[in-house]
Chain A
Amino acid sequence: MPLLTAKDISKSFFATCALDNVDFALERGEIHVLLGQNGAGKSTLIKIISGAIRPDAGTITVDGKDAEHLTPIKSKLLGIATIYQEFNLIPDLSVAENVFLGRLPTKERWPHPVDWRKMRKDARAFFEQVGIALDPDAIVRTLSIAEQQLVEIAKALSVDAKVIILDEPTATLTRREISALFTLLKKMKKRGIGIIYISHRLEEIEQIGDRVTVLRDGKLVGTWNAGDVQINELINAMVGRAVDSTGNEDIRHQRKSDDVILEVRNLSDGRRIKDVNLQLRRGEIVGLGGLVGAGRTELARTLFGADKIVAGELRIHGNNVTSHSCRNSIELRIGFLPEDRKSEGLLLNFSVKNNISLPSLKHFNWFGFMRRTAENDAAQDYIGKLQIKTTGPNQEVRLLSGGNQQKVVLAKWLQTNADMLIFDEPTRGIDVAAKEEFYKIILECAVRGAAVLLISSEVTELIRMSDRIVVMREGRIAGELDRSEFDPERLLSLAFGQSSLQ
């Protein structure tokens, strides 16, 4: 009998279907890898198993027992532990205190003070037993990421977790640390613990995985034994059928120009991005693809001046840029539509017109006073041009739908006469009809001579909109595809780091 089964799990968020009748089973003592593109449904499935989200339909069984109405607490009691990339540790407490958080051993006699000695002893004994090399007294803040991860695993093991879910555990580890982690995971396997392992590193599947499940667009594509399947088959499964890449071919041809608006060479930001070379031309739509965490948003922010450039050259309109800033970008006519429009792109409590004028306060300025009629007129103008559904320039932006909010964000950059536009996941959280409208608008921007950088996790979107696609991986440019080479499999291979399809 499997350790954990999820049957017919379905979940929708408003109009979007995140999971559609997914089946998943985890055996005792197995490492089961969960694969899929961004948005395929992996995190939704994990959240349902760990009780953070309630499914719309489907059942979960743990050890043969039905697990109804799971909550995080209930799932913990059933022995399910999840270790995310962002740890849930208290940095200023010790390792032992973190492991025993909420259940510190106390002394028998009143007033039941904490028995620190017992806690340390128990922690030491436990670490030896499971084979984790940690100092119980070390303060968590002083530990490396790999060590902190071990604390999280220790936490899970100390409450007798039967199912451990690891979300991208090796993303930030060195080779040696990964190897140490794998040794530990194998030990845990021997003790009968089932591990659900989410990773984008396909090579790890053959190193550590027993079985692989692939999700695509919320549906189960298949489950295989790790040894029975090839990497390119898995990529195929994640991608699906070939995608329609037609769309306005003639307009595309007219737009071509050699005028390079923005160019970077050997760009590094000292944190995520390394050695990036990129050129953006007038009238061109460049898609920027890659997995989450590949560094696309970081690149966008650095190009826009929101984050510092540590090394490399940046040239805008042919001129070398030495000290970059958001203010500088705006003056050089670059616009940036950030990933999270609610917390970075808009002021929700402001009106439509006040949002649109925000980067252009200088322009609506007259000796320090705001030209309010001009502001109002500009807003009306864009409401018309972009067909923004709103009751008027004075309506609070938080009352608009997602698609219309995004239009307001775009309007504010069009107002600055931007001829270089960076879109970071522009159609996220927008319904299908609004998406189509937005695609037309982006194309229109390019037709009018703007250089467009389109960051997207949706392969379909990238293929449809881009003239060429640049793929990032772990902070670097992994490769570039011209329109004639557009192929979802190749895109994903570049994103995952498979240089050749075996």
Chain B
Amino acid sequence: MARRFNFNSELTMAIILIGMILLFFVIQPSLLSGQNLENVGRQASVLSVLACGQLFAILVGGIDLSLGSIIGLTSVIAAKGVLAWGLGWGLLAGILVGVVLGATNGMLISYYRMPAMIVTLAMLYFARGIALIIAGGMPVERLPSAFGILGKGSMLGIPNPVFIAIAAFVVCGFVLKFTRLGRAFYAIGGVEETSYLAGIRVERVKVAAYALSGASAGLAGIILSSRLSSGQPNLGDGLEFEAIAAVVIGGARLGGGKGGIRGTLLGVLFLAILANGLNLARVSSFTQMIVIGCVLIITMIVDRFRAPASRVA
């Protein structure tokens, strides 16, 4: 699965990452302070979980533009659920929202053969609209304090969201490397026809990929809502694009079939440290956006130079 290749690019990415950390450290030593690292950890956790989901969608040759909106809807439903049914059920409802919407995306894309970009774009509007309606355009507040533990608490000095992010990486990495489903993702993303002729149920696997993607948005939504101790219908706006950036910088190909958890992790760290470092260096967030744009283009260029004939003509 082009693993040898990824190793080289991941090594390069890791080196760039370390270089970046050193550079920012020199500019602003508080980068590596406990307080700052805790902030970075909390911030990056949400992106981590989301990027894992986006990776699945991209691996099967698609994309998920609805993740941000699913976060919003999850936030509202989880909050209302907690108020109505208690903490456990509320959180579960939140994740289920992600799974159901993701599966819906998947079914439209695979069984009805609609382009992923359009389907998830439609879901982007759809989910956001429903979230706003259910919330009545206002945040859902007065939630029990236990609701905030997930996003604001920490164990052994490490923020809870970081544990969740680590768990997400481990589980997703495991699925991709060791399970039948993960193998099917890479196969379908590689050459769909070959996978079809080999008896892989292409449609079902694609639905699974998008369902997992939606679930990741559900989880991300819960973490974010927990940090804010409220259900916010406008939450997550634009996060799907950060997730795409992280996955692509991490070496995944948008046509599918290439990419992995290690790379995605590096991509997330890259974006998180970049944002944090530039913040500490008092660089405006507008300049940060320019930097991210350039990084994406450079990633594509480098990838083009590296890959000899890896795509079937």
Chain A residues closer than 8 Å to B310, beta-carbon distance: 348-349, 398
Knowing A349-B2, A350-B190, A396-B2 are in contact, say whether A358-B198 is a contact too (CB < 8 A).
Answer: yes
B183 at the interface (CB under 8 A from A): yes
Knowing A327-B201, A354-B1 are in contact, say whether A349-B196 is a contact too (CB < 8 A).
Answer: no
B309 at the interface (CB under 8 A from A): yes
The docked-state distance in angstroms from the alpha carbon of A361 to that of B179 is 9
B199 at the interface (CB under 8 A from A): yes
How many of A's residues come within 8 Å of B, CB to CB? 33
B186 at the interface (CB under 8 A from A): yes
Per-position 1/0 for B151-191, Cβ under 8 A of A:
00000000000000000000000000011110110110011
Knowing A347-B187, A368-B180 are in contact, say whether A412-B198 is a contact too (CB < 8 A).
Answer: yes
Chain A residues closer than 8 Å to B197, beta-carbon distance: 304, 306, 326, 336, 338, 344-345
Say how far A302's CB is from chain B's closest CB, in angstroms.
13
Query: Which of A330, A350, A398 is in CB contact (< 8 Å) with B199?
Result: A330
Chain B residues closer than 8 Å to A338, beta-carbon distance: 197
Per-position 1/0 for A414-431, Cβ under 8 A of B:
000000000000000000
Q: Is the CB of A348 within 8 A of B199?
A: no
Query: Which of A306, A347, A372, A396 is in CB contact (< 8 Å) with B191?
Result: A347
CB closest chain-A residue, reference B188 = A347
B272 at the interface (CB under 8 A from A): no
Knowing A348-B312, A361-B200, A370-B179 are in contact, say whether A343-B195 is a contact too (CB < 8 A).
Answer: no
Q: Is the CB of A343 within 8 A of B198?
A: no
Q: Would you list which residues of chain A between 148 and 204 have a CB under 8 Å from chain B?
A: none
The docked-state distance in angstroms from the alpha carbon of A346 to that of B257 is 13
A342 at the interface (CB under 8 A from B): yes
The docked-state distance in angstroms from the alpha carbon of A349 to that of B194 is 12
Query: Which of A329, A362, A369, A396 is in CB contact (< 8 Å) with B178?
Result: A369
The docked-state distance in angstroms from the alpha carbon of A358 to that of B190 is 12
Q: Is the CB of A343 within 8 A of B312?
A: yes
B141 at the interface (CB under 8 A from A): no
The docked-state distance in angstroms from the alpha carbon of A368 to that of B175 is 9
Q: Is the CB of A350 within 8 A of B186?
A: yes
The docked-state distance in angstroms from the alpha carbon of A164 to that of B220 is 63
The docked-state distance in angstroms from the alpha carbon of A330 to that of B194 is 14
CB closest chain-B residue, reference A370 = B178
Q: Is the CB of A348 within 8 A of B201?
A: no
Q: Is the CB of A306 within 8 A of B196?
A: yes
Q: Is the CB of A349 within 8 A of B180?
A: no
The docked-state distance in angstroms from the alpha carbon of A344 to that of B187 is 12
Chain B residues closer than 8 Å to A344, beta-carbon distance: 191, 193-194, 197
A351 at the interface (CB under 8 A from B): yes
A359 at the interface (CB under 8 A from B): yes
CB closest chain-B residue, reference A304 = B197
A365 at the interface (CB under 8 A from B): yes
Query: Which of A342, A354, A361, A372 is in CB contact (< 8 Å) with B312?
Result: A342
Q: Which residues of B line the A interface, CB within 8 A?
A: 1-2, 178-181, 183-184, 186-187, 190-191, 193-201, 257-258, 309-310, 312-313
3 residue pairs, one from A and one from B, having the closest CB atoms = A359-B198, A330-B199, A358-B198
Q: A345-B197, A350-B1, A396-B2 are in contact. List 20 more A-B contacts (CB 8 A).
A: A306-B196, A326-B197, A326-B198, A329-B199, A336-B197, A338-B197, A342-B312, A343-B191, A347-B190, A347-B195, A347-B257, A349-B1, A350-B190, A354-B183, A358-B198, A358-B200, A364-B180, A368-B180, A372-B178, A398-B310
